Structure 1
């Protein structure tokens, strides 16, 4: 039978909806378990409520509280769902689990326990209890309960459903709900101008809730309105977005590590891309820096990726654009914002958006494009398998000065084992010319001298400001791949 269509109120999320309804409507005669995870504010609850509403399932959103209180709330919700005259009287989670799974005795029924980690914090034995409840049904009374356990605490979700968890072997759906991609985010904000779309994405990323709930559905009307939009939304103390970056860390990171995490994010946002550079910037021991970086990675707030040419060199970048914008641009001016008009403060902070945030964000979007959208053989010759920042020492310079390429595309294999499909420079605010192409060719010469096979490597230039006629002519001759904002956003 056909699966139900996604409700119109849900923007995008087509793949996530297909996964959820396929799991929820699975007609096999046994109870099944699914896991939905993702950082805060990404729309997990919105999706799950829509799923249970569409399919007539049961939804329970957990909150912090004692076990007795949470079970009482769950019993009340279950009584309302089943139209029972009174709530069930449970002695513990064993009884609750049995009643929840019984909801699927007649038909496939989605049953959602949202923010499952909040339940486990008060009832550490709950994963084992659910495991036992499922096992008791094996070979016994068939059922079609489709239990979905959702959570935003990524470290706890990993521990609950990792290989060592009793629930790991039972779960056959693992769905991650992440931010909207940069193209989807532009559509979500209703922005057609790719320059404006990238600037807005550099500030708020692809988190859906930031438009609807955090700025009152206020979007910039055009490129000339961008500065005004920043002042009336992101820098406006009356809007939730004003303090969102601090709320993110307060909700994710324990207080004893929070101050160091803020300083660490500030270091990464202003150009420190390795653990050693962060430690030097903070004047902190490597052990403290490593622990802090580990916390940020564990909570999904920081990504670490190997350098394309030196895999042992791990490069850092902030996962949430709002955190990068806050720590590079806004945080140095927080005290001024408490005393001055946002427009006056923004005049001083605005240059940091271009120099510290937009340039690195543009490079990351170029890497995203190369990995997700450059799949035709006419671009890089074959399907890219990895895209990363790369750097290599220039033997012609004293001390071996590093030469960098922002977009290094590899095919099959990993790191140095992958075929080198393309090496490219990304420049947000420069009109690129033949000089940039020559820099790429010089870098390819260095790589060839180090043993890289560059015979099929395609030079590339990525620019947010455009290309000179001479470079366009080189493109027409097949000497370089050129990618501008229109191409990044699928307009050409």
Structure 2
């Protein structure tokens, strides 16, 4: 495997997949597709791979006409090969064949980054690549190029290989670069204060570029410094993060006229997580927002989570914490935040941190963190088995005709309910919370009862957990970040 450069944090698995693809012994050109939301480090990975192997990298520009894109690619090839003049491409067929010809002696990566920009001006490009990589075509058989197409439009990149798309079945690699999980994000920031790590994750999630690109030179060292830090950076109109979410929407080629899309995201951030609830909040019919919901899902900004106990019912969730933070706190106060006045930002954040931030930002993100911990980090002993899915849902008690919301439900591969969970970010959890969970367990029996808290547990509950023989599991921030 190709050695990973020391300046790439984590990404060991992603680097291994790229390395395996690039160094494959297949004696013909092969195709790979790399995608993932913006700011996750895709370009950084691909450029590093090209530097490590002598490969070719080209990053397309937005809204460049076809002839200009071909001209820019020709200049990049001239610089790469040392040719005396730019390649004069008149078609994408000529350009792709020249890219394949770069690797006649050994396998090297050949990267076309921001691929959706190229296709927007040249709809035929996927079909051209399909033709260039035809199984018995001479130019493909003579090449060992590892052609990598990369883009941040998740819907577009996924569609490249789906259904009846020209490149369906042609790719030897389909790599999605995810955000860092909360543990990796804490290591990346260098946090040892787990409460601080959680607070920063509630706002910025696991997107590495938010730290790398915006140069947080005075990274907070304790939770007490969080308020000042967030006002200096996230709520500061002089910092690029202030407009980051607006740029995310503007950059996605599938989102046009973002007004209704923003209204949908606002409704979800406020806690309206069903199709009907979102529609009611916007005073529209559910059918009126179907397109917007689909596009936001395809763009990776929304995801649908199934109800653990009611088949056919699902909930919409904002995937990116910064998007949730923006629509819950920044957008409603945008004009006031943008027009800087002494003490105004402090007043806005003081009010938001008491109500909106705990309920609409910290709470939902913390619940998601606890489900990730249960699915990927908790031991089989903790859960009484290996989980295959971890969801939230609603349990209905037919005897009392009451519904009980469940923050976490872990199931084994055969459908057995391993664990039920209660999650509270700001509350010290006590026997009342356990009693509620026991009531749900009487309806849907589970091997374990999990209680998660960002504020700690009452002594009586801690004693009950010690005497439960492992049935009651308490998970605080230290265990969430370091234990299983």
Q: CA contact under 8 A between 1:211 and 1:219: conserved in structure 2?
A: no
Task: Provide the C-alpha distance between the structure 2 equivalents of 1:222 and 1:469, rounded to a whole number of angstroms.
Answer: 26
> 1:252 and 1:427, CA in 2 relative to 1: closer, same or farther beyond 3 A?
same
Task: Provide the C-alpha distance between the structure 2 equivalents of 1:434 and 1:344, rounded to a whole number of angstroms.
Answer: 36
Provide, for residues 99-120 of structure 1, a one-character-per-residue CA deviation record: whole Å limited to 9, x for no partner: 1111111001110000111111
The answer as to 2:472 corresponding to 1:483 is: no
Q: CA contact under 8 A between 2:57 and 2:112: conserved in structure 1?
A: yes
- 2:408 maps to 407
What is the Cα deviation at residue 79 of structure 1?
1.1
Provide, for residues 5-44 of structure 1, a one-character-per-residue CA deviation record: whole Å limited to 9, x for no partner: 1111111111110001110111221111100011111111
**SS of match in other structure, 2:206:** coil
- 1:57 maps to 55
Q: CA contact under 8 A between 1:308 and 1:391: conserved in structure 2?
A: yes
The answer as to 2:367 corresponding to 1:369 is: no
Q: CA contact under 8 A between 1:201 and 1:321: conserved in structure 2?
A: yes
What is the Cα deviation at residue 394 of structure 1?
3.3
What is the Cα deviation at residue 200 of structure 1?
0.4
Q: CA contact under 8 A between 2:269 and 2:328: conserved in structure 1?
A: yes
Out of 460, 470, 473, the position equivalent to 2:463 is 473
**SS of match in other structure, 1:19:** helix
Provide, for residues 439-488 of structure 1, a one-character-per-residue CA deviation record: whole Å limited to 9, x for no partner: 111102223xxxxxx2x521111111111222222222323011111111
Task: Map 1:76-155 onto structure 2 (within 5 A).
Answer: 76-135=75-134, 137-138=136-137, 141-155=141-155
Q: CA contact under 8 A between 2:153 and 2:253: conserved in structure 1?
A: no
Q: CA contact under 8 A between 1:111 and 1:148: conserved in structure 2?
A: yes
Task: Provide the C-alpha distance between the structure 1 equivalents of 2:296 and 2:403, rounded to a whole number of angstroms.
Answer: 27
**SS of match in other structure, 1:309:** coil
Task: Provide the C-alpha distance between the structure 2 equivalents of 1:255 and 1:91, rounded to a whole number of angstroms.
Answer: 31
What is the Cα deviation at residue 294 of structure 1?
1.2
Task: Provide the C-alpha distance between the structure 2 equivalents of 1:22 and 1:310, rounded to a whole number of angstroms.
Answer: 42
- 1:35 maps to 33
> 1:221 and 1:442, CA in 2 relative to 1: closer, same or farther beyond 3 A?
same
Out of 448, 454, 457, the position equivalent to 1:464 is 454
> 1:446 and 1:491, CA in 2 relative to 1: closer, same or farther beyond 3 A?
closer
Q: CA contact under 8 A between 1:215 and 1:239: conserved in structure 2?
A: no
Matched pairs, number:
476
Task: Provide the C-alpha distance between the structure 2 equivalents of 1:411 and 1:112, rounded to a whole number of angstroms.
Answer: 41
Task: Provide the C-alpha distance between the structure 2 equivalents of 1:143 and 1:381, rounded to a whole number of angstroms.
Answer: 52
Provide, for residues 403-435 of structure 1, a one-character-per-residue CA deviation record: whole Å limited to 9, x for no partner: 11101101115xxxx111101100111111222
Q: CA contact under 8 A between 1:257 and 1:292: conserved in structure 2?
A: no
Task: Provide the C-alpha distance between the structure 1 equivalents of 2:419 and 2:260, rounded to a whole number of angstroms.
Answer: 38
Task: Provide the C-alpha distance between the structure 1 equivalents of 2:172 and 2:26, rounded to a whole number of angstroms.
Answer: 13
> 1:38 and 1:218, CA in 2 relative to 1: closer, same or farther beyond 3 A?
farther
- 2:238 maps to 238
Which sections of structure 2, spanning at least 5 residues, go unmatched?
none
What is the Cα deviation at residue 138 of structure 1?
4.6
TM-score of the aligned structures, taking structure 1 as reference length: 0.93
Task: Map 1:6-405 onto structure 2 (within 5 A).
Answer: 6-64=4-62, 65-135=64-134, 137-138=136-137, 141-252=141-252, 257-337=257-337, 338-340=339-341, 341-351=344-354, 352-374=356-378, 376-397=379-400, 400-405=401-406
Q: CA contact under 8 A between 2:409 and 2:420: conserved in structure 1?
A: yes
Task: Provide the C-alpha distance between the structure 2 equivalents of 1:257 and 1:267, rounded to a whole number of angstroms.
Answer: 17
Task: Provide the C-alpha distance between the structure 2 equivalents of 1:218 and 1:301, rounded to a whole number of angstroms.
Answer: 29
**RMSD in angstroms over aligned alpha carbons?**
1.7
Task: Provide the C-alpha distance between the structure 2 equivalents of 1:303 and 1:218, rounded to a whole number of angstroms.
Answer: 34
> 1:253 and 1:281, CA in 2 relative to 1: closer, same or farther beyond 3 A?
farther
Task: Provide the C-alpha distance between the structure 1 equivalents of 2:100 and 2:255, rounded to a whole number of angstroms.
Answer: 38
Q: CA contact under 8 A between 1:215 and 1:233: conserved in structure 2?
A: no
Task: Provide the C-alpha distance between the structure 1 equivalents of 2:125 and 2:284, rounded to a whole number of angstroms.
Answer: 40
Task: Provide the C-alpha distance between the structure 1 equivalents of 2:396 and 2:479, rounded to a whole number of angstroms.
Answer: 31
The answer as to 2:416 corresponding to 1:424 is: no
What is the Cα deviation at residue 217 of structure 1?
4.2
Which sections of structure 1, spanning at least 5 residues, go unmatched?
448-453
Following TM superposition, where does structure 1 have runs of at least 4 consecutive aligned residues deviating by more than 6 angstroms?
A: none
Q: CA contact under 8 A between 1:389 and 1:408: conserved in structure 2?
A: yes
Q: CA contact under 8 A between 1:384 and 1:410: conserved in structure 2?
A: yes
> 1:200 and 1:408, CA in 2 relative to 1: closer, same or farther beyond 3 A?
same
Q: CA contact under 8 A between 2:32 and 2:171: conserved in structure 1?
A: yes
Task: Provide the C-alpha distance between the structure 2 equivalents of 1:108 and 1:46, rounded to a whole number of angstroms.
Answer: 20
> 1:380 and 1:93, CA in 2 relative to 1: closer, same or farther beyond 3 A?
same
**SS of match in other structure, 2:482:** coil
What is the Cα deviation at residue 355 of structure 1?
2.2
What is the Cα deviation at residue 267 of structure 1?
1.2
Q: CA contact under 8 A between 2:67 and 2:90: conserved in structure 1?
A: no
**SS of match in other structure, 2:9:** coil
Q: CA contact under 8 A between 1:120 and 1:127: conserved in structure 2?
A: yes
**SS of match in other structure, 2:423:** strand
Q: CA contact under 8 A between 1:211 and 1:217: conserved in structure 2?
A: no
